[in-house]
Structure 1
Amino acid sequence: MPITIRDVREHELDSVLALNNAAGPSILPMDAAKVRFFWEHAEYFRVAEQDGLITGFLVALSQDAPHDSPNFLWFRERYERFLYVDRIVIARPRRGGGRGRAFYADVQSFAEPRWPQLCCEVFLQSGNDPALLFHGSFGFREVGQQVMAGTEIRVAMLMKEMCSHAYVAQAYGDKLPDQPWLRARALPGRAPSRATGT
């Protein structure tokens, strides 16, 4: 069956939480309050669905989110506007099937009309070279490193310039065409937006 990438639904948050916490040491655990925070504040919060099951998800937040992640704050101290990929999780039995690449193609398509940069980090640990290679193949480059506060985890801070953003911003300002693929996620308390993120 085909893989569908779509916005998460509120009743699926428990499934997202379980998937995250079964992902292994390369993904930080989270609790119900954190997944609810993402539901309320993430500009991009989509799942991969196949055969009626959620097999992965990706969460990304704009620079304006009230997020306390040290890696998010690292970017906010240095860059004015960006979309930050907080986490991508693929169910262990479904890894290697192209879901990660599909998510990154989708989040890039979502980000490019709205933000000049797409950011994330990768843990610099033994055996994590495939994650660095994966991001490099999408055009991300390292813009710094840090050790996460309260841990001994060193991370590479990665960024990708959204090369079409300047053109879109100049041509459309804060009013993107009213097309389904350009519609932003409706955050609780906020109507769906077509704005470029300015």
Structure 2
Amino acid sequence: MNPILRPATAADYPAVLALNLEAEALMSPMDEPRLAMLDRQSAYHRVVCDGHAVIAFLIALDQTADYDSPNYRWYRQRYPRFLYIDRIAVAASHRARKLGGLLYADLFAFARERGFDSVAAEFYIEPFNEASSRFHARHGFAEVGTQWVADGKKRVSLQIAPVTTQ
């Protein structure tokens, strides 16, 4: 496989929605209107393709977005400038092929080129998402806070990585 990384387009929406649905237990649900809104507000929205098939995506917003996510709002209240990873998903059929790392490396290069100091992300710690915890640690993220979400059913670890570490 020779993955192709490129900017997302509206034609990718069905595949992005399918990938989000496949990983919905680990992130927020998303329908097409929400995806269109996130795409419009995103600073970064790219997909990874295997041939013509979209097999991964990442959406990130900067501090200027008008976004209702409690996690995004947490960062916006505390950091003057950042890139926030709203969601990343890799097709189950293509996991363990370093596609998440490919997207993160590209995002950090994007952040460096645009003068961002930090990248923000979160993952569930109740219930614990061990794979995401290890993945983020490998990419230089460290916990800067926690909060309960989903009506108190889930708790997230709020993470920051300095752009210079990548």
Provide, for residues 138-162 of structure 1, a one-character-per-residue CA deviation record: whole Å limited to 9, x for no partner: 1111000000152421000000112
- Provide closer, same or farther for how the CA distance between residues 81 and 96 of structure 1 changes in structure 2, counting only shifts above 3 A: same
Q: Which residue of 2 aligns with 1:111?
A: 111
**Residue 137 (structure 2) aligns with:** 136
1:67 aligned counterpart, secondary structure: coil
What residue is the counterpart of 1:51 in the other structure? 51
**1:103-182 correspondence to structure 2 within 5 Å:** 103-114=103-114, 115-126=116-127, 128-148=129-149, 150-163=151-164
**Alpha-carbon distance in structure 2 between the residues aligned to 1:14 and 1:163:** 35
**Which deviates further from its counterpart, 146-155 or 94-103?**
146-155
Count of matched residue positions in the alignment of Structure 1 and Structure 2: 164
Distance in 1 of aligned mates of 2:12 and 2:123: 26
- Give the SS at the match of 1:58: strand
CA contact (8 A) 2:127 2:154 kept: no
String of CA shifts for 1:66-106, please: whole Å, max 9, x gaps: 01100000000111000000000011111111101101101
Unpaired stretches in structure 1, ≥5 consecutive residues: 165-198
- 1:107 shift after superposition: 0.4
Report the aligned-residue RMSD. Answer: 1.4
Q: Secondary structure at the match of 2:25?
A: coil
The answer to whether the 8 Å contact 1:124/1:156 transfers is yes
Maintained 8 Å contact 2:127/2:155: no
Mapped contact 1:27–1:89 kept (Cα < 8 A): no
Identity over aligned pairs, percent: 35
Query: For 1:87 and 1:59, how far apart are their aligned partners in 2?
Result: 6
Aligned counterparts of 1:9 and 1:126: Cα–Cα separation in 2: 33
| CA deviation after TM superposition for structure 1 residue 127, in Å | 5.1
Contact 1:86–1:120 (8 Å) recurs in 2: yes
* Alpha-carbon distance in structure 1 between the residues aligned to 2:121 and 2:10: 25
Confirm or deny: 8 A CA contact 1:70 1:149 kept in the other structure.
Answer: no
Rounded Cα–Cα distance in structure 1 between residues aligned with 2:85 and 2:70:
13
State the SS of the aligned residue for 1:54: strand
Q: Between Structure 1 and Structure 2, which shows a larger proportion of helix residues?
A: 2
With the length of structure 1 as denominator, give the TM-score of the two structures.
Answer: 0.79
Larger Rg: 1
- Give the structure-2-normalised TM-score: 0.93
Q: Which structure features the higher share of strand residues?
A: 2
